[in-house]
A and B are shown apart, each in its own frame.
Chain A
């Protein structure tokens, strides 16, 4: 029987040199769910996605995807498991020398021997799902930010992966595009029965569509729960983050020596 958990992260630690980025992270991600990972800039959210994708190796602990420890795999085995996962990059990362159609067809042509006629139908179906069938002849440079993100979404579901990771999918989008992308993520996850992990800052949009939320602060999981639990949370960090408060457990000021001594004043400013 297939395990309920598609991704298991156990006591995961990761450092760049001496700087610890992630400290003792434990997470479980169920199949068919949309999970959000939130936290301030530079808290290690994207690094966590890279660890799940096997792009970097942890200092200790492990990440299992579909029962396999990703960083113990050989390059060929890693490429095999990556065919079951997909990643949507922050600005889409569309191949600029290929048309919209060829971008979506890219993986099909690389990994399958499907006839071109079948690829054509599949690509048009994927593009239709994101509402851009009519744009299949355009080049990436001709697309708006929201459209590029939708094409990237169509490309990431091209081979019906088990897992899709989204790196800041809402950044720089207008409210309409933002809502369109949010709803597409939810709809595609449900329709294709995959698991989605969203790394985001956008609290309000993501709370509308996700099943579970993890908050990361200073490299550890500060809180986690369902959207309802998160909205009602009185934990100081969660409260500050969800309501966008300027000061709180995440201070407004970067650590510094005393203000008075920096301004070379004597006793005037406490």
Chain B
């Protein structure tokens, strides 16, 4: 029995030590990537190409999801607000929910599942098929040539995707509440316009999306680069990207919200 307990403690210790090592590797990798980003910035077409793969190709899922989230918000908002006779405030509810929270968070979660997993799988497979080793042997640094462009492409794409999500979401809310249910169009837009503050709501939302963009793509590129070069290794890394990114998004969202909207009107 005591031996089992000792083994258990050893197991926990081993996992903790391994996690700390991994965190150290991730931090070192992140610093290296930032230091080597100069090459990508000088050859911006490398980033443009990746923006197409991570950003442009994610548009469909972002737009469709944004539309449905906006429509659901419109329906639920109208259902509740009409009980208090304030259904004209539904535009404000839809816009504030999207710009402050749902836009950045849901767009980032979708981005992690669509683009983050693809980045991890691609870099992981490049490692497994010795493409990264071949690049090293050609005197080309894979972190500068492969990793950094994907990272910056993700960071640049994320705010635009979230903005697109929120805009389409507002349109979805408009469709359901104004066009289908018949809420007054003038009060829908004017209440929204007066309630949504550019600096307080939109800028804070954009800050959130930038933070999520850095977190998701940093996790995705690290997991790909650190993946064991086997099929199981790449599949495990892809799963970890989605799980870790999602938790990071939700955790960071709470922290950012706590700093940005501390009960102030």
Contact = CB atoms under 8 A, between A and B. Distances in A.
A40 B24 CA distance: 38
8 contacts: A80-B139, A82-B138, A82-B139, A85-B137, A89-B134, A93-B130, A95-B134, A107-B138
B134 to A, nearest CB: 4
Interface in A52-108: 53, 55, 79-80, 82-83, 85-87, 89-91, 93-97, 106-107
B137 A82 contact: yes
B12 interface: no
Nearest to A159: B138
Contacts of A96: 125-126, 129, 131
B133 A86 contact: no
Interface in B108-140: 122, 125-126, 129-131, 133-140
B138 A110 contact: yes
Nearest to B137: A87
A55 B140 contact: no
A266 interface: no
Interface of B: 122, 125-126, 129-131, 133-141, 145
B130 A91 contact: yes
A83 B141 CA distance: 12
Nearest to B130: A93
A95 B131 contact: yes
Contacts of A107: 138, 140
A111 interface: yes
A151 B70 CA distance: 51
Contact of A93 (B133, B139, B140): B133
Interface of A: 53, 55, 79-80, 82-83, 85-87, 89-91, 93-97, 106-107, 110-111
Contacts of B141: 79
Given A82-B137, A96-B131, 20 more contacts: A53-B137, A55-B133, A55-B136, A55-B137, A79-B139, A80-B139, A82-B138, A83-B139, A87-B134, A87-B137, A91-B129, A93-B133, A93-B134, A94-B131, A95-B126, A95-B131, A95-B134, A106-B140, A107-B138, A107-B140
Contact of A89 (B122, B133, B139, B140): B133
A107 B135 CA distance: 9
Contacts of A87: 134, 137
A204 to B, nearest CB: 26
Nearest to A78: B139
A124 B184 CA distance: 67
- Dominant SS at the B interface? helix
Contacts of B145: 110
A53 B122 CA distance: 25
Chain A CB count within 10 A is highest, among B126, B133, B139, for B139
B136 A111 contact: no
Nearest to B134: A93
A96 B138 CA distance: 16
Contacts of A86: 137-138
Contact of A90 (B126, B130, B138): B130
A263 to B, nearest CB: 31
Contacts of B126: 95-96
Contacts of A97: 122
A192 B134 CA distance: 21
Top 10 A-B pairs ranked by shortest CB distance? A93-B134, A82-B139, A93-B130, A79-B139, A87-B137, A89-B130, A83-B139, A110-B140, A93-B131, A107-B138
B153 to A, nearest CB: 14
A93 B138 contact: no
A99 to B, nearest CB: 14
A55 B126 CA distance: 17
A200 B133 CA distance: 19
A125 to B, nearest CB: 19
B32 to A, nearest CB: 11
Contacts of A91: 129-130
Nearest to A49: B137
A226 to B, nearest CB: 29
Chain B CB count within 10 A is highest, among A80, A95, A107, A111, for A95
A106 B138 contact: yes
Contacts of B136: 55, 82
Nearest to A111: B139
A165 to B, nearest CB: 8
B258 to A, nearest CB: 41
Contacts of A95: 126, 131, 134-135
A87 B131 CA distance: 12
A97 B134 CA distance: 14
Nearest to B140: A110
B43 to A, nearest CB: 10
A27 B131 CA distance: 29
A88 to B, nearest CB: 9
Contacts of B130: 89-91, 93
Nearest to A53: B137
